[in-house]
Structure 1
Amino acid sequence: MKQEEILSILKEKQAVLEGHFILTSGKHADTYIQCARILQDPKITSLFVSELLKEMKDLEIDLVIGPATGGIIIAYEAARQLGVNAIFTERENGKMTLRRGFKIPKEASVLVVEDVVTTGGSVREVLEVVNKQGGKVVAIGLFADRTGGKIDFKIPTYRIFSKEIQSYEPENCPLCKKDILAIKPGSRGLK
């Protein structure tokens, strides 16, 4: 699929929002990508995951992992299509960890997935968990990369949608200077 087709679907599903947003990273932006609007539709989720996996067809993948909450459904669908297991990390006392009895077998080839990246913080935390468990990350799959492909995890990274979306530290935010109300959508903000 072409980027224009992906963007059209994102807009149709109201997964691209415009306004003044506080991102998970704490930065501010005038555009927010809400992949939960995509993940509620199994057909589109399956299509997007299928597009991601096409790029990885030559990789051996034993396990798929994603951070809660954005990566859970993507990990499940990728694992379903690959015929492997899916697990997820979650925060416990502010630290990304495996819970619920999840384990990563030593030397397992692992695909890490995430819905949206801005700074890559959650993905880096998941990479650390996989490494500590003795797994080997062979690829990263993203639904949306807000850096326009500039983020580098030093691991092959595949993206469904990639566009550089400017974000600002709160003290340098032009939207704050215009007194435009900032909202924090998503899993750690307003509903």
Structure 2
Amino acid sequence: MTRDEVLDVFKSCGALLTGHFILSSGLRSPVFIQKARVFQYPDKTEIVCKALASKIGAAGLGKIDAVVGPAMGGIIPAYETARHLGVPAVWTEREAGEMRLRRFELAPGARVVIIEDIVTTGLSSRETVAALRAIGAEVLAVACLIDRSAGKADCGVPLVALAEYEVPAYPADALPPDLAALPAVKPGSRNI
């Protein structure tokens, strides 16, 4: 799938929003990718996750034992991507402010790929990498539907992106005037 084909799926679901958004990273942006609007349609989710599974397969990572989706945003794409890879899907979630694998077990040395929805700074990915390494898993890569950083995010392991879509993001104290003039909205789920 090309970048434009991926973005067309998101656009067809009304998932590319414009305004003044507070991202889960704390940065501000004039664009928010509301992936939940894609995930409400199983057929659209299948299209992008099947393509992501294909891209993961082509990345030469070798045998994959499981995929792991960080809650909340990674659960649905991890499940659907795992279906196409033919491996189990599990997820991490926050407990006392830290990412943990609470409901599942992975064998020591399990070879895993973390599946993200959208990557901006790589913070959630790095937290998930640390949680999985702490229990003895081997994290092969992070894979995402859209990399908002266009390859600049540091996930702590290689990043496989179905599409790169560089969108500006600014610290709250360095907003361009046109963005600062709009009311800020926080549609993400990190602090819920």
TM-score (norm 1): 0.91
Q: Give the aligned partner of residue 68 of structure 1.
A: 71
User: Structure 1: 5+ residue runs without aligned partners?
Assistant: none
Q: The residue matched to 2:56 in structure 1 has which SS?
A: coil
Q: Does 2:172 match 1:164?
A: no
1:145 matched to 2:147? The reply is yes
Q: What one-letter code is carried by the residue in structure 1 that aligns with 2:10?
A: L
Deviation at 1:56, TM superposition (A): 2.5
Could you tell me whether the CA contact under 8 Å between 2:129 and 2:156 is conserved in 1? Answer: no
Do the aligned residues in 2 keep the contact of 1:20 with 1:175 (CA within 8 Å)? no
The 5 A counterparts of 1:85-124 are: 85-100=88-103, 102-124=104-126
Kindly provide the CA deviation profile for residues 113-134 of structure 1, in whole angstroms up to 9, marking residues without a partner as x.
1111111110001100111111
For 1:88 and 1:60, locate their aligned partners in 2 and report how far apart those are by CA, in whole Å.
Answer: 19
**Deviation readout 1:47-84 (Å, 9 max, x if unpaired):** 11111111232431101101101100111112222222
2:185 alignment counterpart? 183
SS in 2 for 1:47: helix
Out of 125, 128, 138, the position equivalent to 2:127 is 125
Q: How many residues align?
A: 189
Q: Is the 8 A contact 1:176 1:182 kept in 2?
A: no
Distance 1:128 1:171, change over 3 A: same
| 3-state SS in 2 of match to 1:126 | helix
Whether the 8 Å contact between 2:16 and 2:32 is mirrored in structure 1 is: yes
Amino acid in the other structure paired with 2:70: P
SS at match of 1:91: strand
CA contact (8 A) 2:122 2:153 kept: yes
Preserved CA contact (<8 Å) 1:68 1:88: yes
Greater CA deviation, 112-121 or 177-186? Answer: 177-186
- CA distance in 1: counterparts of 2:54 and 2:177, whole angstroms: 39
CA distance in 2, matches of 1:119, 1:26: 10
SS in 1 for 2:166: coil
Match of 1:32 in 2: 32
Give the C-alpha shift of residue 154 in structure 1: 4.9
Name the aligned partner's letter for residue 164 of structure 2.
S
CA, structure 1 residues 188+175, in 2 after alignment: closer, same or farther (shift >3 Å)? farther
**AA matched with 1:111:** V
CA contact (8 A) 2:56 2:143 kept: no
Residue 42 (structure 1) shift: 1.1
2:37 counterpart letter in structure 1: R
Unaligned regions of 5+ residues in structure 2, if any? none
Deviations 1:96-151 (A, max 9, x none): 11212x12211111010111111111000110011111111122210111101222
Structure 2 letter corresponding to 1:179:
A
